[in-house]
Structure 1
């Protein structure tokens, strides 16, 4: 395969079998290099992990489910190192090129899977989403991105980052293959229509006014039952982001402690700094973060218990260029986590998709109750049909 986008890891190709017929027949599958695939190593975007990996003899159960449904494996994809970033860069294997806008970052950490789908090299991009690693690159590359209900998909033979947030997730160019994937992996059916679409005014006030107006206009044009509300939560976005980052850093350190202690020089300085920050966290700060998470999760469950869907902008701000300074990357990551952490903290599903009626590349997100994943696709279909 010709890969001028640097979407795939440079592994020798191995024949990975798949069912000759099934609901995913004819769809090409690109798999983030965090999942084991028989005949391939698993590097997690790190040269030391690659050197220690060896060739895997078994395939991750979720990947096998997709193969059994007829999907055709086309390769393992690039990822941010240890899946611990939202930018898409990697000092070991390079930054994939964004086919949607080559001047911009591709977003991460599921950068390669997003780029493979956006470039037409794959139809299904399997990634992981901890702090936004499916939703963010999907938004930047003009794709559909699905973060499933936490715990709903099999995550065995998947290298963890922060297990209480980690979920496998998917990216596609349109809603039809996404609906097929949801069916193939056994997501339960859901109501076609929400009771209401909640627009949190405090969140929409944080983004560009013109973009916010275009998003809301797209909802109205589809005849959706809109309900505006001052806020959906009692916490500030800054407090939620801090709680999220605290738990994330603690778990990321625990997941990567052995690698760091054995090969600290093999980890990029910015990734190493985040790991070290996690090792130094005060126990009381971690307990407080978990307390906020529990309270927030309860609030969201009560809010969404009557089949409501929250509408959110996927990104808090425009993505930086791929040659921007590290400070710009850090500011972008920090701003976006304030919105992306809501799904992680609550465990609820989120579906990101392009707003066709907007002049620019704008991504809207639907945020629903646990196990309402398929309803989000149904709602997105209605919006996209307008």
Structure 2
């Protein structure tokens, strides 16, 4: 049976906490939660797995990203549910239950930062810190109608974050408002006051649009038409092959690059422990892990090289002042329990990861903005920028929002 917290109707809490700020700062009066693969001193970290929690001691120190928020004036109010070993995008946990999607209660919240999204969307905290490898911050942000940022790879310290896929995984932030996302992200990014290039060009990744449901495509077009009208910046459609100067499909970012790197790294991090300890595994994770177990590591080496080539070419096409946009997810949140056949799972994961792998393989900062709605369900519109242009991306979204209210 899932382990639930009766006092938490959101289903997001693993443990309610009240850790006061370490100092005053830009995050005074802000509350935050922490995904349960990020260490909090004196509290066992589950990694979404009771077996991991019960066989590892409580950490002595907080993860550095937790201390950053506490030292900036924020208060930590809880550890929140993560999908098992954070190896999922749906947010349905056999061990900890399915956190409530506040905007669409009959639907999944998305994962693996499911508890992070639910805790913010249900009003338990202003922001939450999660992690993102293949979309684990961006997907729940999109499906729950939140702001979600995956920063440039390794811009935020991962000290005290449990090992997963170090070549692609990063700490990210979810928030109910852009203002709170901006405040928290700038603390974690250690942003200074250096001026950034203003937004001057917006590209639309056409391949990602074509993957999305027709209703999502229509909402993207309407939103971008409005943004273009208000900012005076025409949105330029561009195909992936045009962007990188090579005739290959967008799906190469996923099946020919990022996914192989993820799988090989997972074998080296979690796989070693799983094979040695033989812990109890959830049914869904067990099926996914069989693919990891059978994976030919040598086949990943070409993909690692391809990741580097794609990183270089995508970033060369995204100079300062340029943002590229696309639907964060190609669909609205599936109904709970709907991912119960291989066809349904493959459709959701393949289409979604074809889009999310773009920023992952290029190590881009990406922000999912809650700009879209289909059938009364939220969908995110993502904006990405070149590697280490995180502050530019935050400023670009701020300027888009300012134009919308002027």
**Normalised-by-shorter TM-score class:** over 0.9
Is 1:200 paired with 2:205? yes
Aligned to 2:365: 349
SS in 2 for 1:266: coil
Contact 1:139 1:352 in 2 (8 A): yes
SS in 1 for 2:331: coil
Distance of 2:320 and 2:182 partners within structure 1: 23
Distance of 2:73 and 2:237 partners within structure 1: 43
> Deviations along 1:64-104, whole A, 9 cap, x unmatched?
01100011010100010000000001111111111111011
Contact 1:89 1:95 in 2 (8 A): yes
Cα pair distance change 1:357/1:379, threshold 3 Å: farther
Alignment of 1:120-139 (within 5 A): 120-139=123-142
Displacement of 1:55 after TM fit?
2.5
- Match 2:381 to one of 354, 364, 367: 364
Alignment of 1:1-386 (within 5 A): 2-9=7-14, 11=15, 15-185=18-188, 186-188=190-192, 189=194, 191=196, 193-207=198-212, 208=214, 209-223=217-231, 224-231=233-240, 232-233=243-244, 234=246, 235-242=248-255, 243-327=257-341, 328-355=344-371, 360=376, 361-385=378-402, 386=404
> Deviations along 1:175-199, whole A, 9 cap, x unmatched?
1111111222213545252231111
How many equivalent pairs are there?
Answer: 384
Distance of 1:27 and 1:319 partners within structure 2: 28
Distance of 1:140 and 1:277 partners within structure 2: 26
> Deviations along 1:1-20, whole A, 9 cap, x unmatched?
941011010x3x55533135
Cα pair distance change 1:302/1:333, threshold 3 Å: same
Distance of 1:359 and 1:92 partners within structure 2: 30
Contact 1:36 1:58 in 2 (8 A): yes
Contact 2:102 2:144 in 1 (8 A): yes
SS in 1 for 2:317: helix
Distance of 1:129 and 1:18 partners within structure 2: 25
Distance of 2:12 and 2:373 partners within structure 1: 29
Q: CA RMSD in A?
A: 2.0
Distance of 2:281 and 2:374 partners within structure 1: 40
Distance of 1:272 and 1:358 partners within structure 2: 33
Distance of 1:190 and 1:285 partners within structure 2: 44
> Deviations along 1:287-332, whole A, 9 cap, x unmatched?
1211221111111121012431111110122221012142324421
Distance of 1:90 and 1:131 partners within structure 2: 18
Distance of 2:287 and 2:195 partners within structure 1: 43
Contact 1:150 1:347 in 2 (8 A): yes
Contact 1:320 1:329 in 2 (8 A): no
Give the structure-2-normalised TM-score.
0.89
SS in 2 for 1:198: strand
Distance of 1:205 and 1:250 partners within structure 2: 30
Contact 1:214 1:358 in 2 (8 A): no
Cα pair distance change 1:338/1:357, threshold 3 Å: closer
> Deviations along 1:132-183, whole A, 9 cap, x unmatched?
0000000111100000110111101111211111100000011111111122
Distance of 1:248 and 1:358 partners within structure 2: 31
Contact 1:214 1:357 in 2 (8 A): no
Cα pair distance change 1:229/1:53, threshold 3 Å: same
Give the structure-1-normalised TM-score.
0.93
